[in-house]
Amino acid sequence: MENIRGGFVRIILFGLFAIFHLTCYSESITINVVPDHDNWIYNTGENVIFKVSVLGDIHKPFSVSYEIGLEKMSAWERGSFNTSNKEFVINGGSLEMPGFLRCTVTITDGNIKKTEYATAAFQPTEIAPTIECPEDFHDFWEETISRVRQVPLDTQLTLIEDKCTDTYNIYQVSYLNNEYKNRSYGILTIPKKNGKFPAIIRFPGAGVHPLGGNLAIADRDIITLDLYIHPFPVLWKKEFYDNLRDSPYIDYKFWGSYGRDSYYFKRVISGCVKAVDVIFSLPQFDGKNLASWGSSQGGALSIITTSLDKRINMLVALCPAMCDFTGYLHGRAGGWPHFFNQENIKNYKTEDVLNTLPYYDVVNFARNITVPGFYSWGFKDETTPPTSFYSAYNVIKAPKHVFIIPEGQHRIYPEQTEKTNQWILDSFQK
């Protein structure tokens, strides 16, 4: 019996060693895929070559498979081959019209698979939107904002004593949104010293967890307001927001999209505009320097709010969502939350939804931007595809600063935060 147990233990240990070896072996393999232009940008009709390099220990020969097509769309070319070369190229072809061409490469070595991709841009600043603008777009939003401003702010500040510093106080702020008993929330910081200060409103990315405050900027004698778009206080226990994330509430981005007055983002947008009212009601605000800042969903809300309230005099939008929803219906990528991709189209390609979305598409707000903006993104973004946000960026006529990270994915990179914050600080009028 002891021999049987000993053999069983040896088998388990051998299996664990094999799994550990495969895991470490897999992690030691890295694939790099890059277009042959350093900036990843091409003219239409120009050929792109994708350069592939495999780093780390790999058995030779190994298997390579690849797919080429428009980002987020079905591949139009697939191929595979075996090779012993750890550096090789794949001819990606070209695009005859502005857009983004993606090459996805998978390396297979026994049971190990590694996948990487790159996205080439073809004259991206000439991408035109597919979404239409309703004739009453401006009237709808003017009436909406006028109506919600008839509801008083009733601003309430709750000091968060354990997070205050020697230089600023930090509060939960709440205020009435679009109707009585319907409140919006956020984290507000105000410098402690006497004086009048500029302000930054930071809009949140998608999800249900609140931001914790723009503390790095708060230390620079700036009033900061981090908004929370859902109708809950931001000081409840983390478990509450975790439960929200794991509940159907996470699908809020689709709720009510059958009507322009019922869509979830109508309340969100009215709360964003009334946040500007909150800033202007603060006696510590200098009354002239107000910037908006956001990434992804927050990038969308930064553009939308700046379009609707001309008191904001500069904006930052990183990889904005909600741009050109209908791109998928025209054979190319559309904006988050992807109403019309393969997964969602069966539920949302209805006349009611198609009539609603133009009132919430960032493209139609972007047309009305009149202040300088700083825009930044990457070409490998799968959540907010560059095809979609260039559709909005390209219709903006106001001064534009852009910082592109070609290999960038859907995240906020430290250099984006540093550059955009410094741009805002440099732009504030003294």
What's the pLDDT at 218? Answer: 96
What's the pLDDT at 429? Answer: 83
Nearest to 375 by CA among 413, 320, 310, 305: 320
What's the pLDDT at 23? Answer: 43
Query: Which of the residue ranges 87-96, 133-142, 172-181 would you say has the lowest mean pLDDT?
Result: 172-181
Indicate which residues carry an active-site annotation.
296, 381, 410
Return the DSSP state at 105. E
Q: Work out the widest C-alpha separation in the chain, in whole angstroms.
A: 84
Q: What structural domains and CATH numbers belong to the chain?
A: 30-124 (2.60.40.1930), 137-427 (3.40.50.1820)
Return the DSSP state at 211. P
The structure tokens 């990183």 sit at 318
Phi, psi of 340 (to 5 degrees): -120, 20
What's the pLDDT at 27? Answer: 59
Tokens of 25: 């072996």
pLDDT average, residue stretch 314-329: 98
Q: Which residues of 50-60 are buried (b: 16+ CB within 10 A; e: fewer)?
A: bebebeeebee
Q: Sort strands 77-83 and 62-70 into parallel, antiparallel or unpaired.
A: antiparallel
What's the pLDDT at 180? Answer: 79
- What are the E-state strand segments in 71-161? 77-83, 87-93, 99-109, 112-122, 156-159
- The reported pTM is 0.93
